[in-house]
Structure 1
Amino acid sequence: MAEHLFHLKANWPGVRNDIGTIETLNLKTEVSIPTEMDGPGIGTNPDEMLLGAAATCYIITLAAMLARSGVEKESLTMESIGVVDYTNGIVTYKKIIHKPEIVLTEGMANKRSIVERLVLKAEASCMISRALQGNVEVTAEAIIK
């Protein structure tokens, strides 16, 4: 087994509603609490970053599975929605909904049932989805054309 280490440096110079920074090998950005949670809404925030991690893991996993199954596509795009409950100062990340749209190349209509299975399998196979399992519900609702 080979472990991969990912490093992140964070700086938070102030109190709750200040602005901090994070930096990884390929990402450097400001972070703060979103306006929806009574924060300044500058840069990104943990809610968006969790959604981004889940979405990128899912779409990459789905693309790899489609390719391995011989499914040719014109495009693969996706909208993902994170559902966060913020009640009485308590934040709960409830659900992530991935909505991939897959446009198959001509002659691939016979692969539609395979694509439908892979849409669900990719969600169950994605490393981030597995890490969230039992805490955050993750679903996929595909549009296949």
Structure 2
Amino acid sequence: MTSHRARTSAAALATLLIVLATAILGATSAQARPTQFAPAGQISPTIGFDPAAVIEWRLDQSIINQPIFVRTDPYFPGLTDFSLNNWCNCAINWFNHTTGEGGVAFPGPLPAGPIRTGSGDVSAWTDIPGGFTLIRGVGNWWVP
């Protein structure tokens, strides 16, 4: 009877330790704070060759293999901001599937600011204007 009680106590103590360890180490708290300029998505890498970089003696920028990051802001609905990437002389052709509107954005090395894509489901593909695009970058995101 004593050994049975000792085993039961040991099992209860082990269970208590496992529950406490799980509660301390595995517990995470959820935070529901809105983030400004939340990353909305990414346009896959555009791969190609930009001859303008060779003409302007920017040889390190002639081969392009860069993704373009997409950001939206819930406080400014209908706007999409593309990353400013010095290494990608890319044209971003976007289309809003919700509104049926489309356009072209040139983020380039200079700040272009957010583009009014409208709220809804937006997709895009990239090209290298005046260059050779081997693989187009593509992406899809939701604009608030």
Normalising by the residue count of structure 2, what TM-score does the alignment of the two structures yield? 0.25
Structure with higher Rg: it is 2
Please identify which structure carries the higher strand content. Answer: 2
**Higher RCO, 1 vs 2 (CA within 8 Å, ≥6 residues apart):** 2
Normalising by the residue count of structure 1, what TM-score does the alignment of the two structures yield? 0.25
Please identify which structure carries the higher helix content. Answer: 1
